[in-house]
Structure 1
Amino acid sequence: MSYKASLGDLKPQVKRFNAAIGETAKGFGAIAASLRGDGALSHKQKEFVALGIAVAIRCEPCILFHTEALIRMGATREEVAEVLAVAVEMGGGPGVMYGSKALAAYDELSA
């Protein structure tokens, strides 16, 4: 499995889906946009939270999108690994399995 290929396949699928759901996509987009800037937490910190949640709920596409965002923001492998350790604490065994996927995605997407 290639995480780059999966991400490449997902982006146009999500774009087509968003076009199909119109106003709902715009509403969700507004929520996401409202969280992009820095507030009490930096945008990067919010992406770390999102990645941890993505692992805990086992959302592989979410893992890919938030990992890609963190790479763009300059997150280190060590920072990502620490977030994944917290996800393991909160998610138990499934956190280990999806945490390993998230770290492999980081390694491939940052190469």
Structure 2
Amino acid sequence: MAYYKEKLDKISQNYGLLTEMSGEPGKDFLSLHASALKDGALPHKSKELMCLCVAISIRCEGCILDHLRNAIKAGATREEIVETVNTAIVMSGGPAYVYGGTALDAMEELLGSEGKK
């Protein structure tokens, strides 16, 4: 079952549609996103994990999936993702516990075919 992968595909389609239809604001947001998350004093992977923590805390499933995927692409391990989820729980309590479970379920699906990290 590829539940989260299908959701990620739909999110990517929606990003494309929004960027196309919103014009300058959409392009500006993507530029900000790329600039803010590139390697700097903090590495890209750390920034994606920070975004994942915030996404869990604000209960944005699309954000969780997108930043989880990006963190995995940047080399985040299961252990780093679990610690990120735990940090979100510390900051946001019960709701983060629920959405943290979503992040870990999606992690298992996305990393499942790649083996244990």
TM bin (shorter chain): over 0.9
Unpaired segments ≥5 residues, structure 1: none
Structure 1 residue ranges (4+ consecutive) displaced by more than 3 angstroms after TM superposition: none
Q: TM-score with structure 1 length normalisation?
A: 0.95
Q: TM-score with structure 2 length normalisation?
A: 0.90
1:85 maps onto 2:95 in alignment: no
Corresponding residue for 1:98? 99
User: What root-mean-square deviation, in Å, do the aligned CA atoms of Structure 1 and Structure 2 show?
Assistant: 1.1
Identity value in percent: 42
Please report how far the alpha carbon of residue 83 of structure 1 lies from its aligned counterpart in structure 2 after TM superposition. 0.6
Counterpart residue type for residue 84 of structure 1:
V
Return the alpha-carbon distance in structure 1 between the equivalents of residues 102 and 32 of structure 2. Answer: 27
Q: How many residue pairs are counted as aligned between the two chains?
A: 111
Query: CA deviation digits over 1:43-94, x for unaligned, max 9?
Result: 1110010000000000000011111111111211110000100000011100
Corresponding residue for 1:17? 18
Return the alpha-carbon distance in structure 2 between the equivalents of residues 62 and 37 of structure 1. Answer: 17
Return the alpha-carbon distance in structure 2 between the equivalents of residues 87 and 71 of structure 1. Answer: 18
